[in-house]
A and B are shown apart, each in its own frame.
Chain A
Amino acid sequence: MGFLNTIIQGVLLGGLYALYAAGLALIFGVMRLVNLAHGDFIVLGAFAILAIATALGLPAPVAAMIALPFMFAFGWALQRLILNRTLKDDLLVPLLVTFGLSIIVQNGLLQVFSADSRRLSLGALETAAFNVGDITLGVVPALTFVAAILVLIGLSLLFYRTRLGRILRATSDSVEIVEIMGVDPRKIFAIAMGISFVVIAVSAFFMGVRANFDPSAGPGRLLFAFEAVVIGGLGSFWGTLLGGVILGVAQTIGGSISPEWQQLSGHVVFLAVILLRPRGLLSRAA
């Protein structure tokens, strides 16, 4: 019974990791950029929601809704002003520039918000729970999982049912050919980063209501996002859900043995996957 409960908590945690991973996978898919500041931007999003909620005296979910367009604009501008300049053949520049951004964001948050741990408040909902059979599910973890599924459905619809999605997929196939078809890839990259930041904002909200966060929490989120992407296999949004769930389950099982083993067991499962199936579990050609 306890074991089944552990698995289910892990699956729900996996929903959060799928949210982290979806934004990272989107950017890698469209422009082959691994954004090393992804985790820090999630934390930045959480602080932004917190600041809006505090300043305007609004509940956190409303503050998150307000943050969404701003996060889109921020991602769009980041891509247009900085990241588009890094995307040449070279691998080094985009990696190191996003690594630099990670340091800047962490320390900017530290300067503005101090090193204290914060949390987004949902009032009574935070501790609310419901029973499914003998299993007790927290409302917030369950909502996170539902949100992850909704975000993935949304991204799938966007990518496979819209004109923009068609261009995004074509860009992912070949930037050069998209260019000779009359599309300015820099504009597409900026829109993609904007969308990624919307997903980041959603992840930030759920991270902030599920657990405490502080300015140094970013790199950890990046690693979880990355692990979920790789475990699930590249090039598939639903792979991020699988990857997130596997990572979440590995962590909760590890954590149920000993708290120190929570993160460690997630990392170990990830390393095992890249040893056995370096292209991920859902990849066709392994």
Chain B
Amino acid sequence: MSQRYVTLTATKTSRVALLVFLAGIIALAIAPHLVPRSLLQDFILVFLLIAMAQCWNLLAGYAGLISVGQQAFVGLGGYGLFAAIVSFGMDPLLAVLLSALCVAVISIPVGFVVFRMQGAYFAVVTWVVAEVFRLLLAQWKALGGGTGTSLPRSATSDMFGLNWAAEVFGVRSAAAREIVIYWAALAVMVVVIAVVYRLLRSRLGLALSAIRDSEMAAESVGVDIGRAKFAAYVFAAFGTALAGALYFLDSARISPDSAFSVLDWTAYVIFIVVIGGIGTIEGPVLGAIIFVVLQSTLSSFGPWYLIVLGVLGIAVMLLAPKGIWGTFSAATGIHLFPTRRRLGAAVPREPDPEA
């Protein structure tokens, strides 16, 4: 008896999810019209954290590369942005993109160094590299050295899209600036999710999930593990820098300590992925929303807040290592963004629940 098999990468729920996702993006795009300005800042933060978390997740959840030095790329993205604006008077949005591209280029030689180490050692080396960049940029006197610098208001006064946003929403330029950054952050999040999702469903994705399951298995099917990991690393650097640059465009102030903060850009991001569900697209989205809600309600408790985050993160790692989404997904079988290829029978389609 012979049966034909097909690999399934889509589910019925996932097609519905795609429509909901698109509708959600449209709703978010017109949100500045509906939600108060104070909430807009939270949205921007959620978008950027989701983008960073997807990048970290791509590394840890799929490529088996655990980095605790992603703050290197946030910081470089931010400083690249400031350099482009302050030194060359470039349009801020263009500078964000250019800065992220430069960071991606820088990540290639950096990757060459950090890939000399494996496993847990890789993690610590990424941290050392981030420290090196922090110490180097603290010596860049034109950008304020160790104390940092602010963007002049004039730098964003004729930003691309500003007048249009001001007209459409009938707001003054300060609010319009925020709306443009909001849109850009939304776009960054959508692009990063889309690329990570596409990447995971492509041949490269197959390679990465093969790595996750077993390096030997991946090698035996002829997947070039080294190249797949490196590609994931460079893209993660790009995406992280993109989000980082936008963050510092929004805050308009940068310093080496804030730009290369291991707490802000790695600990929080790891918390988001772990809580939400490592190795899924949905997890980091969920995690980022939870994180920003927690932060806006609890951060006034200072150190206690961080202790609670640490305890929560450890508890999830030990008791429910799949995180909220992973646990939910395993219990219900619902995958909105199915990234794992599943082997299914071509005919008949309906699985027999009693079998």
A touches B in complex, CB < 8 A: yes
Encode contact with A along B167-180: 1 for CB under 8 Å, 0 otherwise.
00000000000000
Residues of B within 8 A of A34 (CB): 120-121, 123-124
B243 to nearest A CB, angstroms? 21
Residues of B within 8 A of A226 (CB): 124, 128
- Tell me which of B80-88, B134-142, B221-229 binds A: B134-142
Residues of A within 8 A of B278 (CB): 92
Encode contact with A along B295-321: 1 for CB under 8 Å, 0 otherwise.
000000011101101110110011001
Q: A36-B124, A85-B318, A274-B125 are in contact. Are A267 and B310 (CB under 8 A)?
A: no
Asked whether any CB of chain A lies closer than 8 Å to the CB of B66, the reply is yes
Q: Cβ of A86 and Cβ of B113 under 8 Å apart?
A: no
Q: Cβ of B318 and Cβ of A263 under 8 Å apart?
A: no
A23 to nearest B CB, angstroms? 15
Q: Cβ of A270 and Cβ of B263 under 8 Å apart?
A: no
Q: State which residues 277-309 of B face A: CB under 8 Å.
A: 278, 302-304, 306-307, 309
Q: How far is the CA of A27 from the CA of B114 in the complex (A)?
A: 22
Asked whether any CB of chain B lies closer than 8 Å to the CB of A77, the reply is no
Asked whether any CB of chain B lies closer than 8 Å to the CB of A100, the reply is yes
Report which residue of A36, A85, A100, A260 has the largest number of chain B beta carbons within 10 angstroms of its beta carbon. A100
Residues of A within 8 A of B64 (CB): 91
Q: Cβ of B68 and Cβ of A108 under 8 Å apart?
A: no
Q: How far is the CA of A227 from the CA of B124 in the complex (A)?
A: 9
A259 to nearest B CB, angstroms? 11
Q: Residue on A with the closest CB to B268?
A: A103
Q: A34-B120, A267-B131, A271-B113 are in contact. Are A99 and B307 (CB under 8 A)?
A: no
Complex partner residue of B303 from A95, A96, A110, A267, CB under 8 angstroms: A110
**Interface size of A by Cβ–Cβ distance < 8 Å?**
41
Residues of B within 8 A of A271 (CB): 113, 125, 128-129, 132
Complex partner residue of B116 from A86, A97, A275, CB under 8 angstroms: A275
Complex partner residue of B314 from A101, A110, A270, CB under 8 angstroms: A101
Q: How far is the CA of A72 from the CA of B119 in the complex (A)?
A: 28
Q: Cβ of B132 and Cβ of A268 under 8 Å apart?
A: yes
**Interface size of B by Cβ–Cβ distance < 8 Å?**
41
Q: Cβ of B129 and Cβ of A95 under 8 Å apart?
A: no
Q: Cβ of B128 and Cβ of A100 under 8 Å apart?
A: no
Q: A107-B307, A223-B131, A274-B125 are in contact. Are A91 and B314 (CB under 8 A)?
A: no
Q: Cβ of B121 and Cβ of A82 under 8 Å apart?
A: no
Encode contact with B along A83-107: 1 for CB under 8 Å, 0 otherwise.
0011000011111110111011011
Q: State which residues 246-270 of A face B: CB under 8 Å.
A: 260, 263-264, 267-268, 270
Residues of A within 8 A of B263 (CB): 103
Q: Cβ of A99 and Cβ of B303 under 8 Å apart?
A: no
Q: Cβ of A260 and Cβ of B138 under 8 Å apart?
A: yes
Q: A267-B131, A267-B132 are in contact. Are A107 and B303 (CB under 8 A)?
A: yes
Residues of B within 8 A of A106 (CB): 306
B273 to nearest A CB, angstroms? 9
Q: How far is the CA of A103 from the CA of B303 in the complex (A)?
A: 9
Q: Cβ of A86 and Cβ of B124 under 8 Å apart?
A: no
Asked whether any CB of chain B lies closer than 8 Å to the CB of A75, the reply is no
Q: Cβ of B132 and Cβ of A82 under 8 Å apart?
A: no
Q: How far is the CA of A106 from the CA of B305 in the complex (A)?
A: 12
Asked whether any CB of chain B lies closer than 8 Å to the CB of A230, the reply is yes
Q: Cβ of B309 and Cβ of A97 under 8 Å apart?
A: no
Q: How far is the CA of A111 from the CA of B119 in the complex (A)?
A: 33
Q: How far is the CA of A232 from the CA of B70 in the complex (A)?
A: 26
Residues of A within 8 A of B318 (CB): 82, 85-86, 93, 97
B280 to nearest A CB, angstroms? 14
Report which residue of A33, A85, A264, A268 has the largest number of chain B beta carbons within 10 angstroms of its beta carbon. A264
Q: A104-B311, A107-B310 are in contact. Are A96 and B131 (CB under 8 A)?
A: no
Q: How far is the CA of A103 from the CA of B121 in the complex (A)?
A: 19
Q: How far is the CA of A94 from the CA of B139 in the complex (A)?
A: 35
Q: Residue on B with the closest CB to A222?
A: B124
Residues of A within 8 A of B124 (CB): 34, 36, 222-223, 226
Residues of A within 8 A of B270 (CB): 96, 99
Q: State which residues 131-176 of B face A: CB under 8 Å.
A: 131-132, 135-136, 138-139
Q: How far is the CA of A95 from the CA of B120 in the complex (A)?
A: 7
Asked whether any CB of chain B lies closer than 8 Å to the CB of A219, the reply is yes
Q: State which residues 81-126 of B face A: CB under 8 Å.
A: 113, 116-117, 119-121, 123-125
Complex partner residue of B120 from A91, A100, A110, A267, CB under 8 angstroms: A91
Q: How far is the CA of A280 from the CA of B86 in the complex (A)?
A: 42
Q: How far is the CA of A82 from the CA of B314 in the complex (A)?
A: 9
Q: A108-B303, A111-B303 are in contact. Are A278 and B128 (CB under 8 A)?
A: no
Q: Residue on B with the closest CB to A263?
A: B135
Q: State which residues 204-240 of A face B: CB under 8 Å.
A: 219, 222-223, 226-227, 230
Q: How far is the CA of A5 from the CA of B111 in the complex (A)?
A: 37
Q: Cβ of A263 and Cβ of B131 under 8 Å apart?
A: yes
Q: How far is the CA of A86 from the CA of B66 in the complex (A)?
A: 16
* 12 chain-A/chain-B pairs, Cβ below 8 angstroms: A34-B124, A91-B120, A103-B309, A104-B307, A107-B307, A107-B310, A223-B127, A226-B124, A264-B136, A267-B135, A271-B128, A278-B117
15 additional contacts, CB 8 Å, given A104-B306, A107-B310?
Answer: A32-B120, A34-B123, A34-B124, A86-B317, A91-B119, A92-B278, A93-B318, A96-B270, A96-B317, A97-B314, A97-B318, A100-B314, A100-B317, A103-B313, A110-B303
Spell out A's residues near B (CB within 8 Å): 28, 32-34, 36, 82, 85-86, 91-97, 99-101, 103-104, 106-108, 110-111, 219, 222-223, 226-227, 230, 260, 263-264, 267-268, 270-271, 274-275, 278
